[in-house]
């Protein structure tokens, strides 16, 4: 963790660095009832994210394999983190107080089908 904190501190001098937490994202999506280490949980979380991102289509867990090494649930975490990190300022929501005490999650519209501009 100390290496991660040091890396974050160094990178934030030159780039915007976002703290993301995939479990917060799946809680926001309403699919945190079954843990992602179980196949039903993994499928539910990937399907929920795919409804917002459009990938993978269809939302099959084998699509996560090229993301990186590790278990499928680690690959899902990487995908969810990359999704949130790729969002623009009007497409994400702060949980906490920016700039230093915050976790970012996707800002989902009330309708639950599209992003809305703030």
- Whether 118 shows a pLDDT value over 50: the answer reads no
- Kindly state whether residue 5 falls inside one of the protein's structural domains: no
- Kindly state whether residue 113 falls inside one of the protein's structural domains: no
- Kindly state whether residue 82 falls inside one of the protein's structural domains: yes
- Whether 1 shows a pLDDT value over 90: the answer reads no
> Which has the closest alpha carbon to 83: 41, 55, 118, 109?
55
- Kindly state whether residue 13 falls inside one of the protein's structural domains: no
- Kindly state whether residue 87 falls inside one of the protein's structural domains: yes
pLDDT, greater one: 110 or 31: 31
- Whether 109 shows a pLDDT value over 90: the answer reads no
Domain extent, residue 100, equals 18-106
CB 91 within 8 A of CB 84: no
Report how far residue 19's alpha carbon sits from residue 8's, in angstroms, rounded to the nearest whole number. Answer: 9
CB 22 within 8 A of CB 76: yes
CB 25 within 8 A of CB 80: yes
Coil, helix or strand at residue 41: helix
- Kindly state whether residue 27 falls inside one of the protein's structural domains: yes
Q: Total domain count for the chain? A: 1
Give the model confidence (pLDDT) of 68-98 as tens digits: 899 999 999 999 999 999 999 999 999 999 8
- Kindly state whether residue 84 falls inside one of the protein's structural domains: yes
- Kindly state whether residue 115 falls inside one of the protein's structural domains: no
CB 94 within 8 A of CB 18: no
Q: Using the structure block, give the residue that is written with the tokens 């963790």.
A: 1
Burial class (CB in 10 A: 0-12, 13-18, 19+), 23: middle
111 — pLDDT class (breaks 50, 70, 90): very low
For residue 100, the model assigns a pLDDT of 79
């Amino acid at each position: 963790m100390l290496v991660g904190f040091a890396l974050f501190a160094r990178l934030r001098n030159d780039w915007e660095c976002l703290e993301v937490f995939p479990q917060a994202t799946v809680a926001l999506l309403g699919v945190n009832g079954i843990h992602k280490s179980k196949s039903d949980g993994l499928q539910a979380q990937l399907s929920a994210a795919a409804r917002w991102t459009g990938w993978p289509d269809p939302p099959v867990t084998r699509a996560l394999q090229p993301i990186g090494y590790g278990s499928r649930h680690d690959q899902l975490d990487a995908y969810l983190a990359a999704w949130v990190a790729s969002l623009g300022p009007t497409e994400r929501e702060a949980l906490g107080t920016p700039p230093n005490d915050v976790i970012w999650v996707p800002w989902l519209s009330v309708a639950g089908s599209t992003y809305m501009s703030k």
